[in-house]
Structure 1
């Protein structure tokens, strides 16, 4: 544990508002979002400015005290959980929650790391703009965390991940120096792109304190549709048809196995199937227009779906008749993870494969997993347009002790699924990051060149190893 004299030095920098060692205040922030990882911390450090972050890291580096950066603590892979031995302090960015500027003219917002995603959505809407990244945790996830994990979400098809939406970054490096890179330059050819290096680094080489974020025009007209299809291959053919017919207007294209829909209808109140026909697979589509034009978004989507019926790609379909109905369609998609948890113990995987291989992976990997682990059931849903698959393996029916099942079979199932992902040319992490949950699997499956490069970058930026220890970068001896 960190001694009281050391803690006092951090208290002197931050004052009473920025320092707490009250165990009751600390406790909610020492476990991960899913409750799988737990740690211990002697204090939470909560700087209110970039300068205070700089002073904290300079002191931590000098004393060799590890820090775990934390935003909304919504990591799905234990990426913001302190170690169990109490050797690290939590460094919370939640007090740094100002939108420094927002310009509709420049289509740019400069936000501090602690700004909650939904807060940015509201501020952009007030200016007639929007920040085109959304996810289920938008009410608690923070900008700094979204950048540090290169978050994706449901709008990647049109707008890309956080990498595509961040035009500039301000960050504090492990020695306390400040990287001032908020200028949103379209061209900057001064060597290594430190902005992109910090995006997705999970707080292992520096702490993002602010970012310049790209805004887009507010949606003037949208249409949301639900389509029943026979196979994932038909879903992909439907996507390509829509892209050919509607181009960049297609903003969302989600594929859901029918059993996933069934879990939502069983466990989530006030949900109903958008279509009467229960097909093996379902597709949720959103088409957005930046300007009110004729034909409307709904008319364009209906016209394209008529072609899909003629081509035999759609078995049944519905286009939302109101904004409330559109939100009801999306509620099904956004409730899938909650419904899966209610269904019973399961292992969830956030993976990606090349888009062309995603349909085969979704069906073949599920069948292979069920055969390899009798009694389990497997299915998936995901962002078909970018190859991101959320693949779930559920415990055999009647399993009452989920942790015991995971302890007994989880390792073998993890290796089986990840091997299938790699065999398909994919990645074991699509949008949730590596954290501590996938670190050993990354070491097992990644190329020696990738592992060596990760370690070299970590060592160059953070030679004392104080930044988010045990996350992302495989440890010595792993790999």
Structure 2
């Protein structure tokens, strides 16, 4: 069972009673009927790439139910703009199925080579294209799900408008398997861009990055698909640990923005370059490099996508997946870095992420020469300092990774009490015996 129990961050080590791998929706229904009758707790799992422990056991009495064998691409209709996938389809394979039909499924995350559709939707995954296309919930038209008692919710449809009561699809997406097993989904497809215009820009501060975002959004509108903030510290770490073959930046800068604009068929090239020329003239950008080839673009994106992994090579890392209103990102970073440095002198901030939608991965590497275990043992005051600032700025303590078992206590502290009561009522209505992912999300 090792591969089903070992999650990416190695934080949770509780065993399971068994691992079940149903090969069909009917088999999953039978399993749920049996488990509900005998009060056997079930842990839904797809690709086992979650970062908050939602897909692994909590008490040791659970059966992991892995949906990797329910993995058909049921249909692809590129002309109509949708496809239907089963829960076990690997996200990268979903991309390939869409592209083979001449379309694009615009949900890209670092773990797309192993993450599966069921988990992607159950965690409401975000990724680097949320700015233009939305997160998993916004990309989902309908879902099919097996409920705790084995009944099948048949909510698959391709409707963009459906005002027939509560949106049960939106309830199941993002529920982290606590309300049912998503077994299939109909998701949106989009035309494949003719080209990407990609640039890595030097900015003096997050405040300058915010002004650059406003300018690019005004000039390029919905064609601006990515706007990622990165610190120089993260680039230096990747060069130090030989994760980059060369420095992809134009020159040294404390902060960088990775911006990308899609050019559709018939579009005029050079929109990003033209906007950046204006930004240079206004002093928002100190320097910039435009990708001249797909190799250049790949190198730029590698620098962004490896930002989290390189911290593990450097040593211990305290991580936060938070979001605030876009206009508050500079304040979050300024106040958060100062607060963390006050708690742990010498701590090294590696804050990066999706500035265009307000989601920052506010990570901190251990001080040079510090003991990693001692650093992690003192993580709680750093967490408290960051979360206090996030809440003060009207943000969320979990932007795209979910709650799982890692943040249940935190959720009780920060969530509106009425919202928690509503969530508990929904949970009880759909899973009265509490067999679906017990202890996750609501604790």
Fold similarity call, TM over 0.5: yes
What aligned pairs does 1:214-293 form with structure 2 within 5 A after superposition? 214-293=188-267
Q: Is the partner of 2:395 in helix, strand or coil? A: coil
On the 8 A contact 1:44/1:91 being kept in 2, the answer is yes
What is the deviation of 1:57?
0.5
Q: Paired residue for 2:275, among 291, 304, 325?
A: 304
Q: Paired residue for 1:76, among 26, 47, 51?
A: 51
What is the deviation of 1:219?
1.6
What is the deviation of 1:187?
2.2
Q: CA RMSD in A?
A: 1.2
On the 8 A contact 2:335/2:389 being kept in 1, the answer is no
On the 8 A contact 2:200/2:250 being kept in 1, the answer is no
Consecutive unaligned residues of structure 1, counting only runs of 5 or more, are: 1-25, 475-479
What is the deviation of 1:374?
2.0
2:319 aligned residue: 348
Aligned equivalents of 2:98 and 2:346: distance in 1? 48
1:175 aligned residue: 149
Aligned equivalents of 2:441 and 2:220: distance in 1? 39
What aligned pairs does 1:371-386 form with structure 2 within 5 A after superposition? 371-386=342-357
Q: Which string of whole-angstrom CA distances, capped at 9 and with x for unpartnered residues, describes residues 237-284 of structure 1?
A: 111111111111111110111111211221243432223421111000
What aligned pairs does 1:57-456 form with structure 2 within 5 A after superposition? 57-83=32-58, 85-293=59-267, 295-296=268-269, 299-400=270-371, 402-407=372-377, 409-456=378-425
Aligned equivalents of 2:421 and 2:380: distance in 1? 25
What is the deviation of 1:304?
0.9
Q: Which string of whole-angstrom CA distances, capped at 9 and with x for unpartnered residues, describes residues 94-139 of structure 1?
A: 0011100011121111000000000011111111101001011000
Aligned equivalents of 1:128 and 1:422: distance in 2? 43
What is the deviation of 1:393?
2.1
Aligned equivalents of 1:229 and 1:415: distance in 2? 29
2:2 aligned residue: 27
Q: Which string of whole-angstrom CA distances, capped at 9 and with x for unpartnered residues, describes residues 361-384 of structure 1?
A: 112211121012223222311111
Q: Which string of whole-angstrom CA distances, capped at 9 and with x for unpartnered residues, describes residues 6-49 of structure 1?
A: xxxxxxxxxxxxxxxxxxxx122112211111121122111111
Q: Is the partner of 1:185 in helix, strand or coil? A: coil
Aligned equivalents of 2:303 and 2:160: distance in 1? 39
Consecutive unaligned residues of structure 2, counting only runs of 5 or more, are: none
How many pairs does the alignment contain?
A: 443
Q: Is the partner of 1:62 in helix, strand or coil? A: helix
Q: Which string of whole-angstrom CA distances, capped at 9 and with x for unpartnered residues, describes residues 173-216 of structure 1?
A: 11111000101222222221110000100000100000001000
Q: Paired residue for 1:460, among 429, 435, 439?
A: 429
**TM value normalised by structure 2:** 0.98
Q: Is the partner of 1:205 in helix, strand or coil? A: coil
**TM value normalised by structure 1:** 0.90
On the 8 A contact 1:182/1:211 being kept in 2, the answer is yes
Aligned equivalents of 1:307 and 1:394: distance in 2? 36
On the 8 A contact 2:157/2:186 being kept in 1, the answer is yes
Aligned equivalents of 1:73 and 1:29: distance in 2? 7
On the 8 A contact 1:264/1:271 being kept in 2, the answer is no
Q: Is the partner of 2:319 in helix, strand or coil? A: strand
